[in-house]
Structure 1
Amino acid sequence: MTSLSSVGFCGLGLMGSAMVSRLLGAGHSVRVWNRSPEKARPLVQLGAVAAESPADMAQHCELVILCLTDEAAVSDLVLGPHGLLRNGAVRVVLDHSSISPEATARLASQVKAAAGIDWVDAPVSGGVSGATSGTLAIMAGGDPGALAAAMPYMQAYSRQVTHLGSSGAGQWAKLCNQTMVATTLCAIAEAVHLAQRAGIDAGKLPQALAGGWADSVLLQTFVPRMLAPPDESIGSVATMLKDVDNIVEAAHTVNAYAPVLAAVRQRFVDARQQGLAQEDLSHIYRVAGTA
């Protein structure tokens, strides 16, 4: 596939806004759209062009990048009455949203049949800090040529891009990633709780464990956040529970044995029931502390 000369970006939450800022900083002209228009204003001030709707964006952009909350949002933006399929300039949709592999394969088939558009599922790992610093890890599925055509744009906000196979493969890799992240967060929360019950300084765990087998970016990031409530969220309990639910459903479809994941899911369900759904992921510690 030849290069893509114009780019649009839909979904301007914390992750999406950071990605667009990186694109603008790299010298790309970017059209942006968000369901809540006010989120586009800071990016317009940086040089982005606001689109009136996804359909309006599709008139001008060969590549449209998505970073949305869930499958319903993705489907509506693409297939809805004001969606991307209403106009014909789009050649590639690059989806950074985390949705199910099954939904991805279905959407990829629909847009290819309806408009000849290639769909690349490209969920990310690295959080808002990774997007801001341009060090995201991207797990991709779909046509290799379409991925290569979108690569110059992804390079603005990623450290590595790995192609894993056909449509849905990127989402499967993201489910593996989130299995490890969600499980590790719960383990860190229990370790902090254990340290406090034992009377040792839990705040020194990152230092004490640095370089050992238990060390990780999650350990170094979340122990301080668990001990001192953060001012800004880097990911919500609700979003992680959505991902865990996707993992449980997907694991069932391929008959994967995942008993630990079931226990982890219950922790996040407990957090939601305690009113913590919109809180930062570090608040999973509050569930460990009350069990």
Structure 2
Amino acid sequence: MAGAGGEDKTKVERLGYLGLGMMGLPMSQRLLEAGYDVMVWNRSTGKATALVEAGAKLAGVPRDVAESADIIFMCLTDAAAVEEVVFGSDGLATVAGAGKLVVDFSSIHPDAARAIAARLRLANGMGWIDAPVSGGTVGAEQGTLAVMAGGDAADVERARPYVLAMARRLTHMGPSGAGQMTKLCNQVIVGCAMAVLAEATRLATNAGIDATRLPEALAGGFADSIPLQLFVPRMAQGIHSPPLGHIATMLKDLDTVIDVARNTSSPVPMAGLAAQLFRLAKSARGADADALEIYKLSAAQNR
């Protein structure tokens, strides 16, 4: 069978994907488009309909995926969801796991990633890579995600061709937990950027400047960035559907940053302020609102 790009492989492994949310659905779709055999599972089966129509096999419980697949990808909401899928009554830990590998795209605490990896290896010998992603739903749809991985180098190389069917870049950052730690650094930058860009966009709007032209005006200068080009037009025009990411997700990650910073004596004043702004946004706009609605916090009451 040919894999991504049509090249012949001496061994093309059977794949599974658990969690078909905003990221998991387009990522698993790209695996199917690359010609791989994929078994999928989601708590609400309706989300799998389009994938099944495209050729995916549907599993009833996570255990079914673990029994069928050699490499199991997953992208879940938080550490509690990961724990349930791995160690629940029908979880990954209930099957013979020697030779199998889990690649977890979820964003969870580095300590949780290390603990889950060690516990699963002890339970059934299954390998684990923590591999959170950056690039949002647009990156998932276009295959331009950046993936930062923690785990055994040989496991990362084993997973690389399949990950690169879903992403532009896969960087091995070190042992277990290193991928999650790198994602936290990413979220410091992205979370603070959202807050700062919301401030700049509001300043332009209140001063009578067309904020939608800021990306054009600042392109190529020191203020230029992917967040500037992507976020500011959406803020200024009120484009929040589909969301690029949920407020609750960004707040979860920034709160994890603060916890790790406390344990490592690392000052994170900017990330701490961004977390408080997202906490306000969660209260004002709702947990599932687009993270870019942080811009609406500064709107006058009559707007």
Tell me the TM-score range normalised by the shorter chain.
Answer: over 0.9
Q: Name the structure 2 match of 1:162.
A: 171
Aligned AA for 1:62? D
- Aligned partner of 2:127: which letter? D
Instruction: Measure, in 2, the Cα distance between the counterparts of 1:184 and 1:275.
Output: 19
User: Cα 1:118–1:4, aligned 2, differ >3 Å: closer, same or farther?
Assistant: farther
The equivalent residue for 2:295 is 285
For 1:181 and 1:36, the matched residues in 2 are separated by 30
In structure 2, the partner of 1:127 is 136
Question: Does structure 1 conserve the Cα–Cα contact (< 8 Å) formed by 2:129 and 2:156?
Answer: yes
What per-residue deviation string (whole Å, max 9, x for no partner) do you get for residues 7-40 of structure 1? 1000101210111111000000100000111111
1:251 aligns with 2:261: yes
SS of the aligned residue for 1:97 comes to: coil
- Structure 2 distance, partners of 1:288, 1:112, is 48
The TM-score, its normalising length taken from structure 1, stands at 0.96
Q: Is residue 82 of structure 1 aligned with residue 90 of structure 2? A: yes
CA RMSD for the aligned pairs? Answer: 1.5
Q: How many residues align?
A: 290
Match of 1:152 in 2: 161
Q: Which amino acid aligns with 1:144?
A: A
Higher relative contact order (CA 8 A, sep 6+): 1
Displacement of 1:252 after TM fit? 1.1
5+ long unaligned stretches in structure 2: 1-9
Percent identity over the alignment is: 46
Q: Are the counterparts in 1 of residues 108 and 180 from structure 2 also a CA contact under 8 Å?
A: yes
Q: CA offsets per residue over residues 229-282 of structure 1, 9 Å max, x none?
A: 223112111111111111111111111101111111110010111133211122
Runs of 4+ in 1 over 4 A off after TM superposition: none
Question: Secondary structure of 1:59's partner?
Answer: helix
Cross-structure match for 1:260: 270
Question: 143, 147, 150: which one pairs with 1:141?
Answer: 150
Partner of 2:7: none
Alignment partners' CA distance in 1, 2:254 and 2:299: 21
Deviations 1:154-206 (A, max 9, x none): 01011111101000000000000000000000000000111122222212111
Q: Is the contact made by 1:4 and 1:63 (CA closer than 8 Å) also made in structure 2?
A: no
CA drift of 1:3 comes to 6.0
**Shift in Å at residue 4 of structure 1?**
6.5
Distance 1:198 1:77 in 2: 51
CA distance in structure 2 between the aligned counterparts of 1:199 and 1:31, rounded to whole angstroms: 53
Matched residues in 2 for 1:184 and 1:26: separation? 34
Contact 2:211/2:233, CA 8 A, preserved across alignment:
no
Q: What is the CA distance between 1:223 and its match in structure 2?
A: 1.0
- TM-score computed with the length of structure 2 as normaliser: 0.93
Check whether the contact 1:102–1:168 (CA below 8 A) recurs between aligned residues.
yes
**What residue is the counterpart of 1:215 in the other structure?**
224
| 1:97 has 2:106 as partner | yes
Residue aligning to 1:64: 72
Amino acid at match of 1:245: D
Output the amino acid matched with 1:98: S
User: Alpha-carbon deviation of 1:128?
Assistant: 1.1
Question: Structure 1, residues 37-58: CA drift from partner, whole Å, max 9, x if none?
Answer: 1111111011100001001111
Q: Which amino acid aligns with 1:39?
A: K
1:55/1:87 contact within 8 Å kept: yes
